[in-house]
Copies of this chain bind each other. A is one copy, B any other.
């Protein structure tokens, strides 16, 4: 059975990205601090096809987070997008060989032909809403999970619509002070903490969203 999951970095003051996000910097100023827990891990290096990295509890969390995902959904900002019609020369923020290696459905108001990247990632642009994107992602995932790859507004929309099954917060012990808040406009979901792994770099909390 396909579950809809999300794994999102959040600062202790509730931000999922720093201020001044742009097409070339979707995480915003200082936003990479949210993700520092994963950059040195063995799982990350392996995923990027690199040697090295540290075997650690953080690495295990990341490996779990990437395991069993058949398709992703992301917002246009996370693809690297801006607001207006597409510049067809712009192939997103993730490089020629994005690390998803799976179908990715990008929510946008502007139609665009699918982009097939190296390494198994295809970006498909969806203009008819979050339920359509989820239907397409479920079909593509073929029984595996669908993961929301962010940003914050995508998580908010699926939470508010009751379409998210599981939310994992990678809670970083930092204050960003400004940026994009993760958990606003998300309705009033009932969440149950199901699993917690804490390291010096982050407290990883998995919540089940109760129907």
Contacts and interface: CB of A to CB of B under 8 A. Distances in A.
Candidate in A177, A199, A200, A207 with the most chain B CB atoms within 10 angstroms: A177
B12 A181 contact: no
A73 to B, nearest CB: 21
Interface in A59-83: none
Interface in A155-211: 169, 171, 173-175, 177, 181-184, 186-189, 191-193, 196, 198-200, 202-203, 205, 207
Nearest to A201: B193
14 contacts: A12-B183, A13-B186, A171-B171, A171-B205, A173-B192, A173-B207, A174-B191, A175-B186, A175-B188, A177-B188, A192-B200, A193-B199, A193-B200, A196-B196
A9 interface: no
Interface residues of A, number: 28
Given A196-B196, A196-B198, A13 B183 contact: yes
B198 A205 contact: yes
B205 A203 contact: yes
Contacts of A13: 14, 181-184, 186
B173 A191 contact: yes
Nearest to A184: B13
Contacts of A207: 173
A176 to B, nearest CB: 9
Interface string A6-27: 0000001110000000000000
Given A13-B181, A13-B182, A171-B205, 8 more contacts: A12-B183, A12-B191, A14-B14, A14-B181, A173-B191, A173-B207, A175-B189, A196-B196
Candidate in A13, A14, A187, A207 with the most chain B CB atoms within 10 angstroms: A14
A171 B13 CA distance: 12
Contacts of A182: 13
Given A203-B203, A205-B203, A193 B184 contact: no
